[in-house]
Amino acid sequence: MSSINSRELYPEINPYKESFIKGDDTHEIFVEESGNPEGQPILFLHGGPGGGTGAKQRRFFDPSHYRIILFDQRGCGKSKPLGGTLKNTTDNLVNDIELIRKELNISEWIIFGGSWGSTLALAYAIKYPESVQGLILRGVFLSRKHELEWFLKDVDIFFPELHHNLLNHIPNTSKKNLLEKYTELVFSNNKDQAYQAAIAWNQFEGSILKLLPPAVSSETSEVDNEFELARAKVQLHYINNNCFVDGEDILEKSKILKDKPITIVQGRYDMVCPPKTAYELHQAIPHSKLIIVPNAGHSASEAGTLSALLDATDEFKRINS
């Protein structure tokens, strides 16, 4: 564990290129590039599953140095179809990443992923180690049974009232049938019920991301029902399938990354992806640098975590020098 300085994101920038890449006959993948077109390529992998990319995520990287690549995973953000779960597995996403690398004519790149993005980063790096220069990971998640059980059931130890609200949204819901009930509603043909269930599902995770609860705003922001529904659909689809990964297998196979620079940033009080998984990954890859931020939860935007991630992207500039 190291002391963390206080830093701010790089200034806002706009993409210099946006495109769609055909993943297969079902999915079109939205890809954007920003920063330095001749710079060191770095790929941002968003969380979820079911999240998406946004302008803020470009700002983890020095735009004068990096060729910054963001993409929306299948079913997410600007990728089409929004909320699509057909042909949407971790293997599909890993293949999409490799397709993007080839389409953009990149020989090798750095992978930056947090939460679910860390799972995907590891899955890709294990399959295509020759394409990966290094990894920056945050809030490590490996979708093992006890990790999913923690998020779905056991986290009520710390957030009993929030978990109670999640259960109470749907009548006759308990910890045992929580996943089944939300899946049934979110995928139902009753759009109003599906929207409300999706919003309740997403809000629960959003409410436990930070060490300190987010400030309650008196302003009511407009909710994008279709985005909320897509996010919940994709996430529930993945969780119902253990995210299509074997976490123990990833831990074992991660040892092949022994020659890659790897930095792991982990909030000490991460209630979505508790620190033990990050520590186990660090033990599997002992040369990796593990930074446990003492006053942070899961969010990348908390001061200590943000600073550690910015320090990591600055340190990784040296890979090409």
Q: State how far the Cα of 163 lies from the Cα of 185, in Å rounded to an integer.
A: 18
Looking at residue 1, its pLDDT comes to 43
SS3 of 301-316: CCHHHHHHHHHHHHHH
> Which residue out of 115, 143, 288, 307 is catalytically annotated?
115
> Which residue out of 254, 270, 288, 307 is catalytically annotated?
270
156 pLDDT exceeds 70?
Answer: yes
220 pLDDT exceeds 60?
Answer: no
Looking at residue 44, its pLDDT comes to 98
Average pLDDT over every residue of 73-82: 98
Catalytic residue check, 237: no
Domains within the chain, CATH numbers bracketed: 17-141+245-320 (3.40.50.1820), 145-242 (no CATH)
Cβ-contact 100, 32 below 8 angstroms: no
Q: What is the dihedral of CA 259, 117, 284, 272, to 10 degrees?
A: 150
Q: Report cis status (omega within 30 of 0) of the bond before 81.
A: yes
Looking at residue 54, its pLDDT comes to 95
Determine the length of the chain: 321
Query: Full-prediction pTM beyond 0.85?
Result: yes
State the angle between helix axes of 225-239 and 191-207 in degrees (0 to 180), rounded to the nearest 10: 70
Q: How many CA atoms lie within 13 A of 29 on its CB side?
A: 24
Looking at residue 222, its pLDDT comes to 84
Catalytic residue check, 115: yes
Q: What percent of the chain has pLDDT over 70?
A: 96
List, as one string, the DSSP characters of 244-266.
G--HHHHHHHGGGGTTS-EEEEE
Distance from CA of residue 44 to its chain's centroid?
9
Using CB atoms within 10 Å of the CB of residue 185, give its burial: 0 to 12 exposed, 13 to 18 middle, 19+ buried.
buried
> Which residue out of 46, 169, 237, 298 is catalytically annotated?
298
Using CB atoms within 10 Å of the CB of residue 138, give its burial: 0 to 12 exposed, 13 to 18 middle, 19+ buried.
buried
